[in-house]
Amino acid sequence: MILDTVASLGRLVLETVGRVGYAARIFFALLGASVGLIRRPRLITDQIHFIGNYSLVIISVSGLFVGFVLGWQGYYILNRYGSEQALGVMVALSLTRELGPVVTALLFAGRAGTSLTAEIGLMKAGEQLSAMEMMAINPLQRVVAPRFWAGVISMPVLAAIFSAVGVIGGYIIGVRLIGVDEGAFWSQMQAGVDLWEDIANGVIKSVVFGFAVTFIALFQGYEAQPTPEGVARATTRTVVISSLTVLWLDFLLTALMFS
Amino acid sequence: MQRKSLDLWVGIFVLLGAAALMFLALKAGNMSSLSFEQTYSVITKFDNIGGLKPRAPVKSAGVVVGRVADIRFDDKSYQAVVTLHLESSYKFPKDSSAKILTAGLLGEQYIGLEPGGDTNNLVAGDRIKMTQSAVVLENLISQFLYSKAAEGSGGEK
């Protein structure tokens, strides 16, 4: 009995490790297939439209509300210690360093990641990918790689928009509504936020998250069971795995960058 | 959707992102204070630089006149060698003095430059002779404690 449990545990671990290895192989195959994509940039721009443009609304509205909340909560806490003039630098640093990349990545996983997984999964269920292979078209190059690079390009763009809209949101609440001094708000922010250490690090984070979330979404779709339940399960796995990966990578990158 | 309008929307998307990044860099970051003006280098030596970091401001009369470029250690004189980049539009006499001051009580450290009275000005590569090291908080505290202890034991006798 115990031997059976240990054996099944071992099998589980081996399967997971094997899956990770398979994912790594697909990743490198994807990178190799992307080389031929240079001749057809139209494919990538089409996907940027579907992935990026259609996420603009959710990202900007979320950014605005996160900025509102940061402004409000930040004022409430800073006021206790008489430092409400530091509201600007607090809002800007929280957004550019952490919230911008991470929340955008989580929202991106939920909105764009699931649509990517479902699309690829349904293509697989409808045997479109096999049909392409029959016609000697590499499905990785034609279908998966454009979506991968579109996701990688869209993520930093969306994260920057999130941070900028969030700062404006913090300004609206802090300066316009509550009454923090406008000059202090912007001047302390400009003194406290460094272009390379804060903003550039945030951009690097969002690029890394873009790689991770897009690849996980595409891989789950590529490897989904070709049935409706299989696609549904793959979509859920995309959200769960990419969210956990984003948070883990964020911890890693923060420790590396802001030591 | 037409090919052309798709390209247009993607272009707008990417431009929006670039605009957001520019806004962050200029309005929220400190890029507007980066000056691309001409600078000249001046060397200073300190016994203790405390928490001075590269790119810390060099201020005179409270106005930023330059930046700390490089901090090295000289193992012949066992002093810290700090290279300052001063803006070319500001000239200082050869006998100016440099102090390491703290912005606020526990804030960042910067270099304060006080002009001397010499008629000749500093040129690139010159050395500022008179320097004052940073105040190290721990030394102050231990000084205070020892003086208190000396007072206490002196009073008992």
pTM of the complete model beyond 0.80: no
Write the pLDDT tens digit of every residue in B36-46. Answer: 678 888 899 99
Both tokens of A172, joined, read 């609206």
| Contact yes or no for A101/A206 (Cβ under 8 A) | yes
Write the pLDDT tens digit of every residue in A98-144. Answer: 999 999 999 999 999 999 999 999 999 999 999 999 999 999 999 99
CA A53 to chain centre: 15
CA B37 to CA A210: how far, in whole Å? 37
pLDDT of A169 reads 95
Q: Which of B21, B31, B59, B108 to mutate to test the interface with A (most CBs of A within 10 A)?
A: B21
Q: Which residues of B touch A71 (CB under 8 A)?
A: none
- In sign, the C-alpha dihedral spanning B148, B149, B153, B156 is positive
Lowest-confidence range among A164-178, A238-252, B15-29?
Answer: B15-29
The amino acid at residue A230 is G
- In sign, the C-alpha dihedral spanning A8, A12, A17, A18 is positive
**pLDDT average, residue stretch A14-22:** 91
- Does A101 reach chain B within 8 Å, measured CB to CB? no
In this structure, chain A runs to a length of 259
> Given an 8 Å threshold on Cβ–Cβ distance, is A194 in contact with B29?
yes
- Does A189 reach chain B within 8 Å, measured CB to CB? yes
* Cα separation values, A57 from A54, A95, A96, A165, B13, Å: 7, 18, 19, 12, 11
Q: How far is A11 from chain B (nearest CA, A)?
A: 46
CA B69 to CA B41: how far, in whole Å? 9
Q: How far is A67 from chain B (nearest CA, A)?
A: 14
User: What is the b/e burial string over A222-231, where b = at least 16 CB atoms within 10 angstroms of the residue's CB?
Assistant: bbbeeeeeeb
Write the pLDDT tens digit of every residue in A174-226. Answer: 999 998 888 888 888 887 888 888 899 999 999 999 999 999 999 999 999 99
